[in-house]
Amino acid sequence: MKNLSNSLFWRLSLFFLVILFVISGVYIYTTHNSSLVYSQETSQRLNRPLAERVAKFTKPFIDGSINEEEVEKLFHNVMVLNPSVEVYLLDEAGKILSYYAPFGEVKLERLNLDPIHQFIDNKEVFIKGEDPRNPGLQKIFSAAGILDNERTVGYIYIILASEEYTSVTDMLAHNYQIKLATKAVLITFFAAIIIGFFVIWYLTKNINKISVAVNRFKQGDLKTRIRLESKGELSVLANNIDAMADTIVSNINEIRSVEKLRKELISNISHDLRTPLTSIQGYAETLVLLEEKLDKKTKIKYLNTILSSTQRVKKMVENLFEISKLEAHQVETKKETFSINELLSDMVMKFDLMAKSKSIDFKINVADNNILVFADIALMERVFQNLLENALNHTREGGTVQIAIKNNSASSIEVTIKDTGVGISSEELPYIFDRYKKGAYGTHKGTGLGLAIVKKILELHKLDIKVESELNVGTSFSFRLPVYS
């Protein structure tokens, strides 16, 4: 991680350094250009009237031909006063008639008059004209027409920055700009290094913080969180990583608790299966060993015990199978419309014998009209079976078990299974729907899975079950079933 942050740091630094050099280059180039234009424009403005004055105070033509003496004097005077200029005398068509220029030769014979006319016509314009010595090069100038009886007979054309002048200013500008550039680049460079270092350090600091926390989490410190205080993209990333860590931790906890339940389940199953199996084995062995010594009545008693233990094992295995399928979401409800009265009548028939054997008053209080409900009929049958089995098992001889239906709503009915049995203590009541929860007061030896199955089936139907109970008074379970409309 250290390497990564370092390389990111250096890559960012290099990137900014390149940007810095490019910006410096652009800066130098633009300053150079604008300072050049500035000095040229200033020079042209200041020297604008030069050609006009020269034209006013001299008469270079006499009767249409050049006055050589006058022209020489003129050139001489101008050059003495201002040696940085070059003076040209043009005829009315732009042809160079005479000139005074100290260096090099003149290569152009004729000059373009357009810039000269523009200069004369517009007093404000910044304009460049041809340099007779360097065809293709543009220079600042001053120009004026020479008038003879109101008629333009020629032009005075003065190049303001002569070659000598230009070479000197160029050299000075060059030196000056190198100094300026070096200063500017150095100042910017140090400022950028200081600012850049802090900015990059600030950015990589948070990235480092994230990477350290992620690394710690990876190594098993599940409590580690980033908790970035600053705002922005990085804190969004950090918050998301924190949220992800929370999810991972809660998933791990869930897996752990499921694993704990699974272990409990296995130990409960093996314990519960061992009891009936031991009794089956014990009685069967006794029957085999003492076969001749035992009388018929005892043998039947032993065989009945074996039979009931076998039934218990069978019921346990069935219940386990059912609850594990329900818990693994392998059971799908196949909802259909059926008559609740018919289902309950069937249930009464099924449990009538059991009720009679215990002299329990088993009543059903169904609604008058035939109510149709919408649910999975097979699963509902299982719900009633478990609840009625519990009610009959926990009610003493002479007690009452009653099924009642209330249709006090258009969309659902309320089913209640009520008994006058042993009841459930308030300490036990919250846990009776848990797997393997068996009451301490019941005489019946069940698997403790019946109510867990009931709850799961009703959950599949998105239904809730309520229980009310009082010790030695009785218990009632009730839930609502949707009515078919």
Closest CA to 461 of 387, 373, 365: 373
Q: What are the structure tokens assigned to 31, written together?
A: 């300053």
Closest CA to 372 of 406, 336, 404, 408: 336
Instruction: Work out whether 390 is an interface residue with Mg ion (CB under 5 A).
Output: yes
The CB-of-271 to ligand ATP minimum distance in angstroms stands at 15
Binding mask 316-345 for ligand ATP (x = CB under 6 A): ---x--------------------------
Query: Does an H or E element contain 299, and which?
Result: helix 296-327
The answer to whether the beta carbons of residues 145 and 120 sit under 8 Å apart is yes
DSSP letter string over 243-263?
Answer: HHHHHHHHHHHHHHHHHHHHH
Binding mask 267-306 for ligand ATP (x = CB under 6 A): ----------------------------------------
Options 126-134, 139-147, 270-278, 443-451: segment touching ligand ATP (CB under 6 A): 443-451
The answer to whether the beta carbons of residues 54 and 144 sit under 8 Å apart is yes
Query: Is the CB of 375 or the CB of 449 nearer to ligand ATP?
Result: 449
Instruction: Work out whether 448 is an interface residue with Mg ion (CB under 5 A).
Output: no
* Residues 366-405 interacting with ligand ATP (rule: CB under 6 A): 386, 390-391, 394
Options 187-195, 280-288, 301-309, 431-439: segment touching ligand ATP (CB under 6 A): 431-439
Specify the DSSP class assigned to residue 429: G
Options 121-129, 247-255, 305-313, 439-447: segment touching Mg ion (CB under 5 A): 439-447
Q: Out of 100, 438, 463, 484, which residue is the one contacting ligand ATP (CB under 6 A)?
A: 438
The CB-of-437 to ligand ATP minimum distance in angstroms stands at 5
Instruction: Work out whether 447 is an interface residue with ligand ATP (CB under 6 A).
Output: yes
Instruction: Work out whether 421 is an interface residue with Mg ion (CB under 5 A).
Output: no
Instruction: Work out whether 475 is an interface residue with ligand ATP (CB under 6 A).
Output: yes
Backbone angles phi, psi at 315, to 5 degrees: -65, -40
Torsion of CA 468, 469, 474, 479, to 10 degrees: 20
The CB-of-360 to ligand ATP minimum distance in angstroms stands at 12
The CB-of-310 to ligand ATP minimum distance in angstroms stands at 15
Query: Is the CB of 327 or the CB of 389 nearer to Mg ion?
Result: 389
Instruction: Work out whether 142 is an interface residue with ligand ATP (CB under 6 A).
Output: no
455 interface partner picked from Mg ion, ligand ATP, none, CB below 5 to 8 A per type: none
Rounded Cα–Cα distance for residues 190 and 200 (Å)? 15
Q: Out of 351, 450, 452, 474, which residue is the one contacting Mg ion (CB under 5 A)?
A: 450
Q: What are the structure tokens assigned to 475, written together?
A: 């218990």
Backbone angles phi, psi at 190, to 5 degrees: -70, -40
The answer to whether the beta carbons of residues 341 and 371 sit under 8 Å apart is yes
420 interface partner picked from Mg ion, ligand ATP, none, CB below 5 to 8 A per type: none
Instruction: Work out whether 145 is an interface residue with ligand ATP (CB under 6 A).
Output: no
DSSP letter string over 148-209?
Answer: ETTEEEEEEEEESS-HHHHHHHHHHHHHHHHHHHHHHHHHHHHHHHHHHHHHHHHHHHHHHH
CB atoms within 10 A of CB 130: 22
Rounded Cα–Cα distance for residues 413 and 427 (Å)? 30
Which positions touch Mg ion (CB under 5 A)?
390, 446, 450
Which positions touch ligand ATP (CB under 6 A)?
319, 386, 390-391, 394, 419, 421-424, 432, 437-439, 442, 446-452, 475
